[in-house]
Amino acid sequence: MGGFPWTELNQAKEFAYYVQYGMTPVCRRSRRLPRSPRSCSGRKDQIGAVARRRYADLVAVQGDPLKDITELERVRFVMKGGVVYLSK
């Protein structure tokens, strides 16, 4: 698959297009990784958990994106580096 002009398409729809053209939902792919990014990063004490004094990058949706990938188009919560940027 090639790229597309980001100015001409809602970027959140990208996941649905991947599934429409044959990819399994993105979340399923990450489960097949042999080691977690946390264990590979050398920063186990800072990432990999939602806890005090840890970095947190989270995106939350209401439904299950494995059942309906378009849930990723309706993000309700975003946290990056422990700072909340969106909360609906």
Instruction: Please state, in angstroms and rounded to a whole number, the distance separating the CA atoms of residues 56 and 28.
Output: 21
Instruction: Please state, in angstroms and rounded to a whole number, the distance separating the CA atoms of residues 14 and 11.
Output: 6
* Span 3-40, pLDDT tens digits: 666 677 777 888 888 888 887 765 444 544 444 555 55
Residue 83 confidence (pLDDT): 86
- Cβ(75)–Cβ(85) below 8 Å: no
The 3-state DSSP class for residue 31 equals helix
Among 26, 27, 81, 33, residue whose Cα is nearest residue 58: 81
* Span 44-76, pLDDT tens digits: 666 667 777 777 788 899 999 888 989 989 999
What's the pTM value of the predicted model, to 2 decimals?
0.60
